[in-house]
């Protein structure tokens, strides 16, 4: 996640740096460093921030489509996908081990590269 996106999400959440730091369980100095681009945003912080933003979107009535419907996944692919197993098609971006574009991603960073261009992810987060 880029520092500008981190700052944009904080603004969408209407939180100060101090409030966001408390919410994420990190120091205010970390938030400041992420927003200034001095430090790379760790994957666990990015993931938690996106989850909070997702919950806010849901509370505002945004109803995301199920990923398997949008991607038109064949049944044999669904049987191997953890998102299908847990019936969490709106959390495909959050769950590791998903089979997107016929490939399971090996890391959060690799997964996010694919998610950021995905229709499902874009619709949820307006990226």
**What is the domain range of residue 43?**
3-59
Predicted TM-score of the model (pTM):
0.86
User: Do the beta carbons of residue 7 and residue 35 sit within 8 Å?
Assistant: yes
User: How many domains are contained in the chain?
Assistant: 2
Same domain, 47 and 18: yes
Over range 81-106, report the average pLDDT. Answer: 87
Q: Give the chain's mean pLDDT.
A: 91
- In terms of domains, do 12 and 40 share one? yes
Q: Are residues 20 and 41 in the same domain?
A: yes
* Residue finishing a domain among 59, 79, 97: 59
Residue 77 shares a structural domain with residue 49: no
Which of 17, 34, 59 marks a domain boundary? 59
pLDDT band at 127 (very low <50, low <70, confident <90, very high): low
For residues 51 and 71, membership in a common domain is answered with no
* pLDDT at position 52: 95
Residues 6+ apart with CB under 8 A from 89: 65, 66, 67, 68, 69, 83, 120
Residue, of 11 and 107, whose pLDDT is higher: 11
Q: Check residue 38 and give its pLDDT.
A: 96
């Amino acid at each position: 996640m880029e520092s500008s996106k981190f700052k944009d999400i904080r603004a969408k959440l209407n939180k100060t740096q101090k409030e966001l730091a408390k919410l994420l369980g990190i120091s205010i100095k970390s938030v400041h460093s992420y927003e200034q681009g001095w430090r790379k945003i760790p994957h666990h912080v990015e993931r938690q921030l996106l989850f909070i933003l997702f919950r806010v979107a849901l509370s505002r009535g945004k109803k995301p489509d199920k990923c398997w419907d949008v991607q038109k996944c064949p049944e044999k692919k669904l049987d191997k996908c953890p998102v299908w197993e847990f019936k969490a098609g709106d959390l495909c971006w959050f769950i590791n081990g998903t089979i997107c574009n016929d490939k399971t991603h090996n890391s959060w960073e690799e997964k996010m590269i694919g998610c950021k261009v995905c229709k499902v992810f874009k619709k949820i987060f307006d990226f």
